[in-house]
Structure 1
Amino acid sequence: MMDYSEFPDQQIACIDIRSFYASCAAAIEGLDVMRDMIAVVSNLSQKGSVVLAASPPLKSKYKVKTGTRLYEIPNDPSIYLIEPQMEMYLNISMEIPKLLNQYVPMEAIHVYSVDECFFSLAGTERLWGPMEQTIERIRYNLVDQFQLPSAVGAGPNRLMAKLALDLEGKKTGYAKWTYKDIPKKLWPVSPLSKMWGIGKRTEKTLNDMGIYTVGDLANAELSRLEKKFGVLGNQLYHHAWGIDLSKMGAPLLEGQVSYGKSQILMRDYNKVAEVKVVLLEMCEEVARRTRESNKAGRTISLGIGYSKNMLGGGFYRSRTIYEATNDTMQIYAVCKELLEEFHDGRPVRQISISITKLEDEHSVQLSLFDEQKWRNRQLGTAMDQIRTRYGSTAILRAVSLTDAGTAIKRSRLVGGHKG
C-alpha cells in the first residue's frame, strides 16, 4: 500500500454548476432547472442544431443530452426550447469566482471551466467553521443570488476533489473523499474512461495491456506504464492512487499540453473540397494559438465525424513529422494527407484538429538556407498581430469567402454560439 503520510492533505473543493447553460437559461426565463424540462439549442431555426445543455428532468424522461439534435427532441409542449445567450452566460460564470472570493482569497481559487472552479478552504475553519458547513453556505448563496444549483466534491488535493465530484458528488450533491476511500470508491471504477483524465484512446491502450479497472492500473508495474506512455504513464499510475502534487492554478495534467480546435458543421459537407476549406480555416486558428505561445509541435491529429444520416462513425488519426512546426500550411498539409488517406467518401459533419508533442519554438532549428521557412514565420506573426488588434476576420484567406467557409459566421458567435 502507498504511504500517504508523505503527501499533502489539503482541503480542496471542486464546485460544478449543474447543467450550467440550462441553469442560466432557467434563471433568465423564470423557470426551475430541477423541475422544468429545458433544452438550450444552438439555433432553433435549423433542425440539425445541437443541444448545448439539457435540464435534469429532460435528461431523465427523454434521454436528451448535450449533442442531441433538435429534430431528435420529442414534440412535447412541456419542453422549453431556448436559444443561448452566450454573453449573458459568460457574465454569470464570472460571478462565481467573485462569490467564492467572499470566503477564500482569490489566489486560492482556480477557474477550471465555464461551470467549474477549484478552491482551497485550508485555514478558513476559524472564519467559517468546518469545510462541510462552508460549502453548504456557498451552495445556498449560489441558489439564493443566481438561482444556480450546484454539486461539490472535496478531497486532499485537486485530483481527489474532482474525482469525488464526478463519481459521487454529481449524484448526491456533495461528496468528500479521503485517501482511505481510494480502494473502495476509486479502484472499482470501470470502464477506465469514467476516471477523469483518461480518454477513450488511452483506455483502449490500457485494455490491450490487460488493465480494465482503476485498481488494475494502481497495481500495474510502474516501469511498464512508463515504457508505454512515458511521463503520462507515471501520472496515470499515481493518479490511480489518488496522488496529485500540482499547485492551485497549475495544469492538472502536467505535460499534456496541446492546441486544438473542434467544430460541428451546420450542415453535411458532401464534397472533399468543402471539407478542406474548413480544414484550412481550423489549421489557421490552431497554428496561431501555437505561435502565440511560442511553441511548435511534431504530432498532428485529425478527427472526422460522419453525418448521422450515413450511420455516423468517423476516424481519428495522427501523424508525427520530423521537425516541429507551427506553420499553418505545414499543419494543413498533414491534415490534408490524413483526410485523403482515411476519408471513405461519406458526408462530414464534425472536424477536430490538434497539435501535440510540443517544444519551445526557440529550440526548433531554423535552417540558415531555408529563407522560405523564416519568411513564413514572419508572415504568420504579422497576420496574428493584425487579427489580435482588429479581430479574427480582419484578414482572411480567400477560401473563407466561399459557401463552405465558416470563419466569418463563427466570428459573430460567442463561445461558438449566438451571443
Structure 2
Amino acid sequence: MPDALPEIQANRKIIHVDMDCFYAAIEMRDDPLLRNSPVAVGGSPDKRGVIATCNYEARTYGVHSAMASAHAKRLCPNLIIVPPNFEKYRHDSKVIRSIFAKYTPLIEPLSLDEAFLDVSESTEYKGSATYIAQAIRHDIYQELKLTASAGIAPNKFLAKVASDWEKPNGQFVIQPDAVAAFIVELPVKKIPGVGKKTSEKLHNMGVYTCADLQQLELLELTRKFGAFGQSLYYLSRGIDDRPVITHYPRKSLSVENTYDKDLYTLEDCLAEVPQLLSTLKQRLARSKVDAPVNKMFVKLKFSDFSATTVERTSFGVNDDLFYELMDEGFHRRNKSIRLLGLGVRFQNAESASFVQLPLEYIDGAFDDER
C-alpha cells in the first residue's frame, strides 16, 4: 500500500455536460411527428444496421446503442428508426462548444454530445460551478431547444458519474466533503474501465461496491488486474488527478463497413479491401495528423458478433500488409463475416495509464479515435 494517498483536490471544480439522447433529440426537435414515440437513430434493420442512440421511450423496451437495428425492432415493433445526419449533429455540437467557451477555455470534448469543463478559475457566477452548469444548460436549451444533464465534482471521474444521477435534464453535485460518503455506496460497474468481464471478475471476488474494493490492497489489485489495478485502487477512493485536456493527439484512425450479406470466403473479404483502403487514405489525407503511422490493423466481426483485431508494426501505410492481416484474421474463426475494418495507429500516441484512462473505455472495445 502507498505510504500516503493523494488528497481530493477540493479547489478543483469540474463539470461533465452530457446531452440527453443527442441525435434522437435533434431529430424529434426537427420533426414534431416523432415526439412521444419510441425513436432511434441508426441503420436500417433490413441492411443489418446498428442503433447509434435512442430516446427514453425506446429505452423502456430495452433498446440501446450498439444494438442491431433488427433486434431493436423485435423488442419494440413501433420503433421509428431515423438515418443519422451527422452534418446536422456536428453543427449543433459546435454551437454547444461555443456556449462552453463563454464560461471557460478548458474544455475536453469526449464526443459530439459530451465534454468535461474545468471551471476552477472561472469568475462567472462568483465561481459557482453549480450555477455555471445551470447557466450552460439554460443557454443550450435557449439556443437549440435541446436538454443536457450535468455533473459537478472535484474531479473528472466523479463529475462523469454525477452527470448520470439526475438524467434527463438535471444536474447533480458531489461536494469535496461528501466524496467519502458518496463513493462507498457506488457500484464498481460505475468505475470507468469496469465492463462486463471485469465486473464479473470483481463479483467473483465478492466485490460489488467501492467500499468492497477499498478493502483490497494495491498489490493484490495490480496482481489480478495489471496496470488497471492501480486505477481501481484510486478511483474506488474517489481520487482522480487527471487534468481536463483541451487537445488529445489522435492515436489511431480507421474505417469499417457492415455488409448487407455475409462474406463467406477469404476472396470475398480481400475483394473489399481496395474500397476500404481508398476511404482510409482519404480520411488520412484530411486528418492532418503530423505523427507517422507505426502500426496497421484490420478488424473482422463474424456472423455470431464475435470480433478479432490483427495488427502489425509498419513504417507508413503498406497496402499489401492489409491483405496479409485480413488473411490471418479470417482464419481465426470458421464463420462468415459481417463487418470489415482497416486502420492505422500513430507513433508517440500516449499509452493508457491511471492518469490518462479515458472514461469511455469499455472492456474489449475497439478504439477508433483515442
TM-score, normalized by the shorter chain, greater than 0.5: yes
Deviation for aligned residue 1:54:
1.6
Q: Cα 1:128–1:282, aligned 2, differ >3 Å: closer, same or farther?
A: farther
Give the Cα separation in 2 of the matches to 1:65 and 1:6. Answer: 35
Cα offsets for 1:304-347 (capped at 9, x unmatched) = 242xxxxx34244667x6x6665444465345323202x122x3
Q: Give the match for residue 24 of structure 1.
A: 26
Q: Structure 1 unaligned runs (5+)?
A: 307-311, 362-414
When normalised by structure 2's length, the TM-score is 0.73
Q: Cα 1:318–1:209, aligned 2, differ >3 Å: closer, same or farther?
A: farther
Q: Does 1:344 align with 2:340?
A: no
Report the structure number with the largest CA radius of gyration: 1
Q: Structure 2 unaligned runs (5+)?
A: 350-367
* SS at structure 2 position matched to 1:197: coil
- Which structure exhibits the higher relative contact order, with contacts defined as CA atoms closer than 8 Å and separated by 6 or more residues? 2
Q: Give the match for residue 243 of structure 1.
A: 239
Kindly indicate which of the two structures has a greater share of residues assigned to helix.
1
Q: What amino acid sits opposite 1:99 in the alignment? A: I
C-alpha contact 2:9 2:154 (8 A) present in aligned 1: no
Give the Cα separation in 1 of the matches to 2:288 and 2:334. Answer: 30
Superposition map of 1:279-318 within 5 A: 285=280, 293-297=291-295, 302-306=299-303, 312-316=304-308
C-alpha contact 1:153 1:174 (8 A) present in aligned 2: yes
Q: Cα 1:118–1:126, aligned 2, differ >3 Å: closer, same or farther?
A: closer
Cα offsets for 1:69-93 (capped at 9, x unmatched) = 15742454xx554332221111111
Cα offsets for 1:130-176 (capped at 9, x unmatched) = 3222222221222222111111111101222112224x243672112
- The Cα RMSD (Å) is 4.1
Q: Give the match for residue 271 of structure 1.
A: 264
Give the Cα separation in 1 of the matches to 2:310 and 2:201. Answer: 15
Give the Cα separation in 2 of the matches to 1:326 and 1:205. Answer: 39
Q: What amino acid sits opposite 1:233 in the alignment? A: G
Question: Which of 116, 119, 122 in structure 1 is aligned with 2:117?
Answer: 119
Higher mean Cα deviation, 204-213 or 193-202?
A: 204-213
C-alpha contact 2:108 2:117 (8 A) present in aligned 1: yes
Q: Give the match for residue 162 of structure 2.
A: 164
Give the Cα separation in 2 of the matches to 1:214 and 1:124. Answer: 32
Cα offsets for 1:213-240 (capped at 9, x unmatched) = 4444444332344456554433332223
* SS at structure 2 position matched to 1:63: coil
Percent of aligned positions that are identical: 19
Deviation for aligned residue 1:355:
6.9
C-alpha contact 1:187 1:213 (8 A) present in aligned 2: yes
Q: Cα 1:51–1:221, aligned 2, differ >3 Å: closer, same or farther?
A: same
Give the Cα separation in 1 of the matches to 2:207 and 2:175. Answer: 24
C-alpha contact 1:269 1:275 (8 A) present in aligned 2: no
Deviation for aligned residue 1:96:
0.3
Q: Cα 1:172–1:219, aligned 2, differ >3 Å: closer, same or farther?
A: farther
Deviation for aligned residue 1:29:
1.8
Q: Cα 1:260–1:184, aligned 2, differ >3 Å: closer, same or farther?
A: farther
Q: Cα 1:12–1:82, aligned 2, differ >3 Å: closer, same or farther?
A: same
C-alpha contact 2:108 2:247 (8 A) present in aligned 1: no
* SS at structure 2 position matched to 1:57: helix
